[in-house]
Structure 1
Amino acid sequence: MNKRLGIVCLFLFLGNIVFCQEDDKKGDEKVKDSLSAEFKKKGVVVEAASFERQAINPLAPSKAAFYSAVLPGLGQIYNKRYWKAPIVWGAIGTGIYVYSFNNGEYNRYRDAFKRRKAGFTDDEFFDLGAPDEGKTEPDVSDSALEDAQERFQRDRDLALLITIALYALNIIDANVDAHLKQYNVDENLSFDIRPYLDINPVSSNPNYGLTMTLKF
C-alpha cells in the first residue's frame, strides 16, 4: 500500500512540473500579447518573426562526392565551402609533385645502373667533374646507383599512396559536409515525458507508467 502511494505521489509531482511548465508558456504568451497591444497603442507596428524550413535534398551528398571524384575540390565548391578548395588543390598538387620528382630521379639512376651492368661507361654519373677520357673508376659506384634508385622508388611509392589517400579524403569530406549541412535542428523537434495511469478493466488494478512523445 505504501509503495503504491509513493508511486502515485511521484506521478502527481511529475504532472505538477509539466503543468507548471505549460502555465509558464501560457504566461509568456500573455505577456507577449500584452506587449504587442501596448506597442499598437503607441503606433508601433510589431511583425511576427517567420522562419522558413530548408528543404532536404537527399541527393546532395551523392552529388558532392561525385563532383569531388571528377575534380578534387569541386564538391567543396558545390557545398559552398570555398575556402576548402585551395587546401584540397594544394594537398593533392603537392603529392603529385613529390611523386613526379621521385619518379624522375628513380628513372635517372635506374638507366645509369642498367648501362653499367651492360658494360658502358658513358652514363651521367660515371664522370661528374671535368671530362677525363682515360678515367676508369666511376665517380658514383654501382652500389651507390642501386641504393639511390631503391630510395627514390620507395619515396615515389609512398607519395603515390599519400596522394591516393588525400584524393579519397577529399571525396569523403565533400560527402560528409553535405550531410551535416542538412542536419535537422529546427524548433519542431521535441521530446516529452509524462506520467501514465490506467485502470485494468478486468482486475480493476491500476497500471502505472510513463509516456514518451517524440515530435519530428
Structure 2
Amino acid sequence: MNRILILIVFCSYLFPLEVDSLKAKTPANAAKYGAIFPGGGQIYNGRWIKAALLLSLEAASIYQWSLNGDIYKNYDSGNYSLRKHRYLEKRNKYAWWAVFIYIYGMLDAVVDAHLNPFNSIMTENIESIETKSEEE
C-alpha cells in the first residue's frame, strides 16, 4: 500500500498539470502553503531557489536544535568542550532561529504574492493606459 502511494505521489510530480502563468497569485494561498510547509509559499510563487534555501535553513536549525538538546540531556555521559548550560543556550537559540525562519518564509511568500502583478504593470505601455482613461 505504501509503495503505491509513493508511486502516485512521485508520478504526480513527473507529470504536473499546465499552470496558467497569467493567473494572479493570491496572498492567502501563499500564506496557507507557507504555513503547511516551510518554503511552500515560495514554491507557490515560483521562487524555487528561495524555497530550497528556506527549507535547508529550517532543516539545519532543527538539526542543530536536536543535536544540542541531546548533548544537554546526555552531558554527564560524554566528554564535551563546553559547559552544560552552553548547550542549553545553543539549543534555545536554534529553536528561536527555526521559528524565525518559518515566520519569515510565510511573510516573504505573502509579500511576493502581493507584488506578483508588479512586473506586468510596469512593462505596460504608459501611452496605452492614458488613451484608455481618456476614452472613458
TM-score of the pair, normalised by structure 2:
0.67
CA contact (8 A) 2:62 2:95 kept: yes
- Matched with 1:4 is none
Q: Find the counterpart in structure 1 of residue 117 from structure 2.
A: 182
Instruction: Check 1:151–1:178 CA distance in 2 against 1; reply closer, same or farther (3 A cut).
Output: same
Shift of 1:179: 1.1
- The one-letter code sitting in structure 1 at the alignment partner of 2:86 is R
Q: Deviations over 1:75-103 (max 9, x none)?
A: 11111112222111111011001100100
List structure 1 runs of 4+ shifted beyond 4 angstroms. 54-57
Query: Which structure: greater helix fraction?
Result: 2
**What residue identity is the alignment partner of 2:63?**
Y
Give the structure with the larger strand fraction: 1
Gaps of 5+ in 2: 1-21
What do the CA deviations read for 1:97-142 (whole angstroms, capped 9, x no partner)?
1100100000012xx3xxxxxxxxxxx35xx8xxxxxxxxxxx9xx
Structure with bigger RCO (C-alpha 8 Å, 6+ apart) = 2
TM normalised by structure 1 equals 0.44
The 8 Å contact of residues 69 and 87 in structure 2, kept in 1 or not, is answered as: yes
Offset at residue 148 of structure 1 (A): 2.2
**Which of 86, 94, 106 is the aligned partner of 1:151?**
86
Listed as ranges, the gaps of 5+ residues in structure 1 are 1-53, 113-123, 129-139, 191-212
Aligned to 2:30: 64
Cross-structure match for 1:167: 102
Match for 1:158: what amino acid?
K
The AA in structure 2 aligned to 1:93 is A
Identity, in percent, stands at 29
User: Which has the larger Rg?
Assistant: 1
Q: Secondary structure at the match of 2:105?
A: helix
Measure, in 1, the Cα distance between the counterparts of 2:105 and 2:43: 12
Deviation, structure 1 residue 61: 1.0
- CA offset at residue 189 of structure 1? 4.5
CA RMSD of aligned residues (A): 2.8
